[in-house]
Amino acid sequence: MTTTDIRIQPRRRGDKRPSWDEEPSFLGKFVKAAFLVCYAAAIVLPIWAVVATSFASEEALSRAGGNLLLIPTDVSLKAYEEIFSGGALTESLLLTMGLTLGGTAISMVITIGAAYGLSRPGTLLHRPLLMLVLFTFLFAPGLYPSFLVVQSLGLFNSYWSLILPMAMNAFNLIVLRSFFMNSVPGELLDAAKMDGAGEFRTLFKIVLPMSKAILAVIALFYAVMYWNIYFQAVLYIPSQDVQPIQVVLQRMLMSTQGLPGAASQAAQYQSTAAAPTAALKMAVVVCTIIPIVIMYPFIQKHFTKAVITGAIKG
Amino acid sequence: MAALQTSVPGAAQAPTERPRVKRKRTVGQRFRHDWPLLLLTLPAMAQLAIFFYWPSAWNVIAFMDYSPHRPFWENPIVGFAWFGRLFSDPYFLPALGNTLKFALAQLAFVFPLSIVLALVMHSVVSTKIRSLFQSVVYLPYFFSWVLVVTVFVQMLGSDGLVSNLLLQSGGDRLTFMTDGDSFVFLAWMQWAWKDAGWGMIIFLAALASINPSLYEAAAVDGAGRWKRMWHITLPGIRPVIVLLLILQLGGILTVGFEQYQLQRDSVGFGATEVLDTFVYYRSIIGPQSESFGTAAGLFKGVIGLILILIANNVAHRLGEQGIYQKS
C-alpha cells in the first residue's frame, strides 16, 4: 500500500486564463458551453419537474394531462399533508430515518475500529486480518448463501437484517485506514505514546479529531446506502408492515403503471387509497431526495480525496 | 583538511553501529502490547466472519441436492451436476450474454463520457462554474435506483412528460421504456444520468495532477490547444484510464442488480436478465431450487474472482498498482 501517483497540484491559474493559453474561438466556447448546459439541464430539469409536480393540485395536473409539470400554476401542499399525516408514509419515513441513523452509527463504530486497528503494520496478526478484509474485494458469497445465514440467525423479517449484513464496507474501511496511515503524522502518535496515552486515548483525542473530513464523507456514504435500501428489504423483510421508503415508492410507482404484477403489488400497498396521485408520488420522491441534498454540500469538497484513495490504493 | 582526512578512515574503521538484531518478542508479549488494536478490529472481523465467510462456506450446497427442509447432513452430494445443468438451462447463457453486453456497453459508452466530461470541465477557467457544475453532476450518484427509474418513467415513459409534449404537438407517445429491444439504450441513459458525472471525479483528479508547466512549455513551443491535449493531457491521464479499464474488465460479471430487477416487469425479463437477477429468481423466487441458484451464484463468484486476479496481474505488469499489492 504505497502512495498513489496522483498528487493533486494546487491549481495555479485560479480564475484567470494563463498568459500562454490562447483565447478559444467563439465556436469552441459555444460548443463547450452548450454541452455543459445541456448536461446540467438533463439532470436538473427532471428534478425540477418532480419538485414542481409535488406541489401541484390535481386540477392543475389534469389540465396538463400528464404525470409531470414543468411550470406549476398553483401551489398545493396536499401531497405533503398526506405524507406527514401520520399514516403509512410517515411511518415509513421514520423507519428509514431510524435505519439510516442507527445503521450509520453502527457502521462507523465498526469501520473506525478496524481502520485504526489495522493501521499499524507489524502488529500481531496484522497481515492475516488485512487479507481477510481485502479478500472481500475479490469474491462475493452469493445471494442464496447470504439469505440462508440471515435466516438461520433468526434475522428474517427483522429490521436488523437491513443493518448487520452490510454494516461494514471494506472499501470504506480501506479508505479510512489509508488516511490514518498516511495523513496522521506518526510523530504525533509517538508523542502521545511518550505521554502515556493508550491506544483508545490516542484514537479519540488525536486521530479522530484530525480525520473529521474523511469521517464525514464515509458517514455520508454509509448514510446514503442505508437511506437507499431497497432490495435488502424486498429480500429480508417481506412480511413487515412498515417498509423502507424506497420500497414504498416502488410500490406506488408499480400501482399506477398498469403492468402485469402491478395488481398484487398494489394490493400489498394498502395504506393509501387505490391510486396515489402523481403529486403524492412526486412528493415522496422529493422526501427521498431532500436528506441527500441537505447533507451533501457540506461534504462535497472532500469527495475527491476519498474516491482517489479508494480507487487507486487499497 | 587534516581533521577531515583523519576522520574519514576513522569512520570507515569503526563499525560501531552494531547491525540491530530485532529481538523477537513472543506472541504473548506482542499480544500484551497490541491487544487494544486487536480489540478494535474485533467487531469488523466478527461482521466479516458472520456475513461474508460463513455464507461463503454455505456455497457447498452448490455441490449437494440441498433442501432446507431436511437436516444438513442428509442432503445427498451430487458433485458438479448443478454446474452441468447451468449450461443446459435455456435461460442461463442468455443471462450471461446480457451481463457481458451491459458490462461492455458501460465500458464503451459511459466510461468515455466520464472522460469527455472531465476534459471539458478541466478546460473551464472559472472556478465558480466548475464547482457549480460538479455539485450538479455528482448529485444523481446518490439517488437510489428506485428513484432513478421513477424519474425516468415520469419523464420518458409512455405517460410521461416528454410523451405528453409530443402528443400535444401531434406526435406519438414514447414507448422505448417498455421495449426490450432498446433496453440497452435505456440502461445507457440511466447510467449516464446517474453515474457518469461521478465517474468524472477520478479523471478530474488525474488531470489536476498534470504539471501545468508542461502546458506552458508546449504553448511556448507553439503547440496549439489540440496538440497540447493530444501530447500532454491524454498521456497524462493514460495510466488512470488504463488502470480503471482493467479493473472494470475484472468486474465485468457484476453490472448491478436493482436497475434490472426494477425494470423487469415493464421491459420483459428476456432483455433484463443478468447473472445476478438469474440467481435471485432461481434460488429465492420460484421455480425454486436452492442448490441450482447457489451453483449459478458460485459460478459467477469464481469466474469473477479469476477475472479480477487476471486484471490485477495485467495491471501489475503494466506497472500499475491494481486493487491489491503483490508484496
The CATH number of whichever domain residue A199 belongs to comes to 1.10.3720.10
Contact A129 B45 (CB under 8 A): yes
Same domain, A71 and A180: no
- DSSP string computed for A31-60: HHHHHHHHHHHHHHHHHHHHHHHHT--HHH
**Residue of B40, B51, B208 with shortest CB distance to A8:** B208
Top-confidence residue, A208 or A65: A208
Judge: A149–B51 Cβ closer than 8 Å, yes or no: yes
**A284-295 average pLDDT score:** 90
Residues A148 and A258 both lie in one domain = yes
Q: Is residue A9 part of a domain?
A: no
Q: Which pLDDT score, from 0 to 100, does residue A275 have?
A: 56
Q: Flag if A173 and B44 touch (Cβ within 8 Å).
A: yes
Which range has the top average pLDDT, A137-146, A248-257, B124-133, B213-222?
A: A137-146
Q: Are residues A187 and A97 in the same domain?
A: yes
Give the count of domains, chain A.
Answer: 2
Largest CA distance in chain A: 75
Q: Which of B32, B33, B35, B45 to mutate to test the interface with A (most CBs of A within 10 A)?
A: B45
**A157: which residues sit within 8 A by CB, 6+ positions away?**
A236, A237, A238, A239, A240
CA–CA dist A36, A30 (Å, integer): 10
Query: B138: which chain A residues are within 8 Å (Cβ-Cβ)?
Result: 296, 300, 303
Determine, for residues B283 and A12 on separate chains, whether the beta-carbon distance falls below 8 Å.
no
- Residue A96 inside a domain? The answer is yes
Q: Supply the pLDDT for residue A68.
A: 75
pLDDT digits (tens, 9 = 90+) for B134-150: 888 889 999 999 999 99
Please determine, for residue B6, whether its predicted confidence score (pLDDT) is greater than 50: no
Of A9 and A258, more confident:
A9
What percentage of residues in chain A have a pLDDT greater than 90?
Answer: 42
Helix crossing, A170-183 with A126-134: angle to 10°?
A: 140
Bridge partner residues of B77 (DSSP): B64
Half-sphere exposure of A155 (CA within 13 A, CB side): 19
Identify whether A6 is part of a domain. no
3-state secondary structure of B77: strand
Q: What is the mean pLDDT of residues B31-40?
A: 90
Same-domain status, A188 and A44? no
Q: Are residues A64 and A168 located together in one domain of the fold?
A: no
Contacts of B293 in chain A (CB under 8 A): 143-144
Question: Using one digit for the tens of pLDDT, what is the confidence trace for B234-249?
Answer: 888 888 888 888 878 8
pLDDT per residue over A175-210, tens digit each? 899 889 888 888 888 888 888 888 899 999 999 999
Contact check, Cβ <8 Å, B136/A116: no
Region of B143 (left: φ > 0; alpha: ψ -120 to 50; beta: rest) is beta
In a domain, A113, yes or no: yes
Please, which pLDDT band fits residue A77 given cuts at 50, 70 and 90? confident
Find the mean pLDDT for residues B60-66. Answer: 92
Residues of B in contact with A6 (CB under 8 A): 205-206, 209, 240
Question: In this structure, are A60 and A192 located in the same domain?
Answer: no
Q: Which domain holds residue A71?
A: 26-76
Q: Which of A49, A117, A227 sits opposite B41 (nearest CB)?
A: A117
Instruction: Decide if A173 and B163 are in contact by the 8 Å CB cutoff.
Output: no
Q: Is A118 found in the same domain as A194?
A: yes
**Range in A262-276, B70-84, B241-255 with the lowest mean pLDDT:** A262-276
Shortest distance between the Cα of A76 and any Cα of chain B, in A, equals 20
Domain shared by A60 and A173, yes or no: no
| Residue A201 sits in the same domain as residue A62 | no
| pLDDT confidence tier of residue A269, bands split at 50, 70 and 90 | very low
**pLDDT at site A197:** 85
**A69 and A92 belong to one structural domain:** no
What average pLDDT does chain A have?
83
- Residue B14's pLDDT is 47
> Does A4 reside within a domain?
no
Same domain, A191 and A265: yes
For residue A161, name the pLDDT band (cuts at 50, 70, 90).
very high
| Residue A110 backbone phi and psi in degrees, to 5 | -65, -45
Chain A closest-CA separation from residue B2 CA (Å): 39
With respect to residue A2, please indicate whether it lies within any of the assigned structural domains. no
pLDDT of A96 higher than 80: yes
Q: Which residue of A has its CA nearest to B222?
A: A20
pTM beyond 0.90: no
Q: Is the ipTM value over 0.90, yes or no?
A: no
Distance from CA of A269 to the nearest CA of B (A): 16
Q: A42, A76, A110: which is the final residue of a domain?
A: A76
Q: How far apart are CA A162 and CA A236, in angstroms?
A: 7
Whether A69 and A98 map to the same domain: the answer is: no
Contacts of B215 in chain A (CB under 8 A): 18, 20-21
Which pLDDT belongs to residue A308?
67
pLDDT at A223: 94
Q: Average pLDDT in the A216-243 region? A: 93
Closest residue in chain B to residue A151, using alpha carbons only = B68
Cis peptide before B287 (omega within 30 of 0): yes
Q: Which of A129, A144, A298 to mutate to test the interface with B (most CBs of B within 10 A)?
A: A144
Q: Among A284-298, B6-20, B206-220, B305-319, whose mean pLDDT is lowest?
A: B6-20
